[in-house]
């Protein structure tokens, strides 16, 4: 039986460069893609085997209806024991909903770049992070950040500028990834150009980003392992 994934798109466009709903479907999941940014949420969570939460230009602390609704959905999903994975804003809103609104803060400057992250021993036996190695490479771009040090968080990876790049909520099947393992090398070239003005304003060197972009295959194992955890037939 194929697992059913609720995919919450938190961005201002229904579709993103990474085309993750299609990728999760390719791994064998039945994907219900909802445009949460536009207020599209399911009435019930009972039929879902997993939830993925995407990035967003908004902050998890903002007073916006879809953000309030998503906090409630996350808390309900946690009570039901539904596995969840959030990337960028998705990681931040998971932390805000499960560990407290003060867990997410605005940095004094942006962290942006293709970076090596240091991996903690917690990854070795983790259900989705066990294959990322002792260091893992991925693109990161964030002005908001999840605080480290909360007793309900297991830190899995950190960068030189962000101590909480990958984390897990207690021993639950709930993970947050600050960076962007979902983007392929080809997609990165498109994304960097589309976002050139914003990224440059945040301090990025677009030519350098393009030159150092990578498929980041070890990082992507977190996505495929999450798909398998949700009951994908061929992840």
Kindly state the DSSP code that residue 14 receives in the 8-state scheme.
S
- Is 159 inside any structural domain? yes
Choose among 35, 42, 48, 105: nearest CA to 72: 42
Q: Span 195-202, mean pLDDT? A: 97
- Is 143 inside any structural domain? yes
Choose among 195, 223, 229: nearest CA to 210: 195
Q: Span 211-230, mean pLDDT? A: 97
What are the pLDDT digits (tens) for 120-131? 999 999 999 999
Q: Span 177-203, mean pLDDT? A: 97
Q: Span 188-213, mean pLDDT? A: 97
Q: How confident is the model at residue 16 (pLDDT cuts 50, 70, 90)?
A: confident
**What HEC string does 202-214 produce?**
CCCCHHHHHHHCC
Domain harbouring 68, CATH code: 3.40.50.880
- Give the residue numbers spanning the domain of 51: 4-230
Residues 6+ apart with CB under 8 A from 121: none
- Is 235 inside any structural domain? no
Q: Span 113-142, mean pLDDT? A: 98
- Is 112 inside any structural domain? yes
Whether 232 has a pLDDT exceeding 80, the answer reads: no
Structurally, the chain folds into a number of domains equal to 1
Look up the pTM and report it: 0.96
Q: What is the pLDDT of residue 27?
A: 95
Tokens 């500028």 label which residue?
161
- The catalytic residues are 88, 180, 182
CB of 205 closer than 8 Å to CB of 110: no
Q: What is the pLDDT of residue 233?
A: 63
């Amino acid at each position: 039986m194929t697992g059913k994934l609720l995919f919450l798109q938190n961005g201002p466009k229904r579709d993103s460069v990474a085309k993750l709903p299609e990728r999760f479907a390719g791994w064998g999941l039945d994907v219900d893609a909802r445009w949460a940014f536009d207020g599209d949420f399911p009435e019930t969570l009972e039929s879902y085997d997993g939830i993925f939460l995407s990035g967003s230009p908004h902050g998890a602390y903002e007073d916006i209806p879809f953000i309030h609704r998503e906090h409630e959905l996350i808390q309900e999903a946690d009570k039901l024991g539904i596995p969840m994975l959030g990337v960028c804003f998705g990681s931040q809103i998971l932390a805000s909903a499960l560990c407290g609104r003060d867990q997410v803060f605005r940095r004094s400057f942006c962290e942006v770049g293709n970076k090596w992250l240091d991996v903690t021993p917690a990854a070795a036996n983790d259900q989705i992070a066990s294959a990322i190695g002792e260091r893992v490479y991925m693109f990161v771009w964030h002005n908001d950040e999840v605080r480290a040090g909360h007793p309900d968080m297991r830190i899995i990876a950190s960068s030189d500028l962000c101590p909480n790049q990958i984390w897990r909520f207690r021993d639950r099947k709930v993970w947050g990834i600050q960076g962007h393992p979902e983007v392929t090398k080809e997609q990165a070239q498109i994304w960097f150009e589309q976002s050139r003005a914003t990224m440059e304003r945040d301090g990025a060197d677009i030519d350098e980003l393009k030159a150092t972009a990578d498929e980041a295959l070890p990082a992507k194992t977190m996505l495929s392992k999450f798909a398998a955890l949700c009951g994908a037939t061929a992840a």
